[in-house]
Amino acid sequence: MTRVERTRVAIVGAGPAGLLLSHLLAASGIESVVVDRRSREEIENTIRAGILEQGTVDLLVETGASTRVLTDGNRHDGIELWFDGEGHRIDFPSLVGRSVWLYPQHEVLRDLVAARLSAGQDLRLEATVERVDDAATTRPRVIGTDAEGRPFEIEADFVVGADGSRSAVRSAVTEGTRGDLFREYPFAWFGILCEAPPSSDELIYSNSPDGFALISQRSATVQRMYFQCDPETDPEALSEAQIWDELRMRVPGTTLTEGPIFQRDVLRFRSFVAPHLRRGRAALVGDAAHTVPPTGAKGMNLAIADVVLLHRALVELLRGGDERPLDAYEETAIRRIWKAQHFSWWMTTMLHSTPDATEFDRRRQLGELRSVIESEAGRTYLAEAYTGWPFETGLG
Ligand code: DHB
């Protein structure tokens, strides 16, 4: 027998978007159930990007979702664009009055899981969602099997797909519509974590004749670095010495502090936007709705911007019966999504070399980089997008 339960909002996916939404809804007095196929350990140990926009940090702190970001994270007031053998710093506060924070996504997840569990959130882990039925009615249902393999059904006032790029909710929202907007790139990132002190005070994004590299950080003793590679690269195929050669070659003129590499992965590059973000009483947020390539670290920040909008729309719908903010959700969210798609695409294409790039393409790219760093307008555009267009939190 299938167990049938009821909640106000059924959230599929316990990533940053799903957990933050349950946190904001609880603060607004709206009950939710969060379901995820992963275990707590998997959720808390997924290695993702490390940069939080100013607005993301303000929201996490003001809502009590994470205060550790201020004590354990690091504020970064700029980045370095490296090309032609030289670094060019973009100073965020003087250009746009904002900064970013280096605080890895898995730390955000640890904070969110702890906050939700201590608040008594109904969080169902290791449960598989098969599909969402009746999205177009006022009683949408999430159907799946729990951690013990027993079938379940959750009937809700609203269903949210926060379940990542392989979303089980997406088809219920986009049903019958075609036209995924999609782009694949002919390169990927080879990412490492190593035990070493930072090589630089701030992140270095480098365009070199040998391809892109990003020198990022995690802590005083652990660093994160990436270099452009072929998407088919096997992460185990390179020796540590080869990895350091690749990295050093791509940031000529800097000295990288090397140390033992204890984690390596290859990240594919894709851009994707779903044809619809909402149908009836179901909506998509985060990677279920869109994917951006990693350059510029917009992924989680964009997911959080979706959640801010959807939370407000759900409060109006479920507390006051006002459908209008929900009707505006897709149109409002999509504007920021395409700005972030453009920024991620722009940073990517400006900094990476494609396999078929000619000398013309390479010199044009250097011209583009120069026109950014030598113009206040150019630096300001980058700073504004990187630190994040302000979102209205509705808190003040
Ligand atoms: C990191 C990842 C990014 O994509 C980026 O633009 C900056 C930093 C990171 O993992 O540290």
Q: What CATH number does residue 327 fall under?
A: 3.50.50.60
Question: What are residue 104's phi and psi, to 5 degrees?
Answer: -60, 150
pLDDT digits (tens, 9 = 90+) for 122-154: 999 999 999 999 999 999 999 999 999 999 999
SS3 of 142, please? strand
Same domain, 205 and 278: no
Ligand 1 centroid from CA 118, angstroms: 30
pLDDT attached to residue 392: 63
pLDDT digits (tens, 9 = 90+) for 249-297: 999 999 999 999 999 999 999 999 999 999 999 999 999 999 999 999 9
Site to probe by mutation for ligand 1, drawn from 53, 92, 216 as the one with most ligand atoms within 8 Å of Cβ, is 216
pLDDT digits (tens, 9 = 90+) for 196-233: 999 999 999 999 999 999 999 999 999 999 999 999 99
For residue 149, give its domain range.
3-50+104-180+274-353
Number of domains in the chain: 2
pTM above 0.85, yes or no: yes
Same domain, 209 and 118: no
pLDDT digits (tens, 9 = 90+) for 54-68: 999 999 999 999 989
Q: Mean pLDDT across the chain, nearest whole number? A: 95
Q: Let me know if residue 62 belongs to a domain.
A: no
Q: What percent of the chain is predicted at pLDDT more than 70?
A: 99
Q: Let me know if residue 299 belongs to a domain.
A: yes
Q: Are β-strands 211-215 and 222-229 bridged in parallel, bridged antiparallel, or unpaired?
A: antiparallel
Same domain, 36 and 173: yes
The domain boundary, picked from 240, 270, 300, lies at 270
Ligand 1 centroid from CA 191, angstroms: 10
Same domain, 169 and 136: yes
Same domain, 294 and 213: no
Same domain, 122 and 192: no
Q: Which atom of ligand 1 is nearest to the CA of 294?
A: 4
- What single-letter amino acid sits at 361? D
Site to probe by mutation for ligand 1, drawn from 214, 217, 268 as the one with most ligand atoms within 8 Å of Cβ, is 214
Catalytic residues: 76, 205, 294, 298, 386
Same domain, 11 and 120: yes
Ligand 1 centroid from CA 315, angstroms: 33
Identify the residues whose C-beta falls under 6 Å from ligand 1: 49-51, 203, 214, 216, 224, 294-297
Ligand 1 centroid from CA 289, angstroms: 21
Residue 395: band (very low, low, confident or very high) from pLDDT cuts 50, 70, 90: very low
Q: Let me know if residue 85 belongs to a domain.
A: no
Take atom 11 of ligand 1 and give the residue whose Cα is closest.
50
Within 8 A by CB and 6+ apart from 35, the residues are 10, 11, 12, 13, 14, 124, 127, 129, 142, 144, 154
Q: Let me know if residue 192 belongs to a domain.
A: yes
Same domain, 29 and 167: yes
Res 33 pLDDT > 70: yes
Contact 98, 385 (CB under 8 A): no
Contact 181, 342 (CB under 8 A): no
pLDDT attached to residue 391: 81
pLDDT digits (tens, 9 = 90+) for 71-117: 999 999 999 999 999 999 999 999 999 999 999 999 999 999 999 99
Same domain, 124 and 156: yes
Take atom 1 of ligand 1 and give the residue whose Cα is closest.
49
CATH number, residue 246: 3.30.9.10
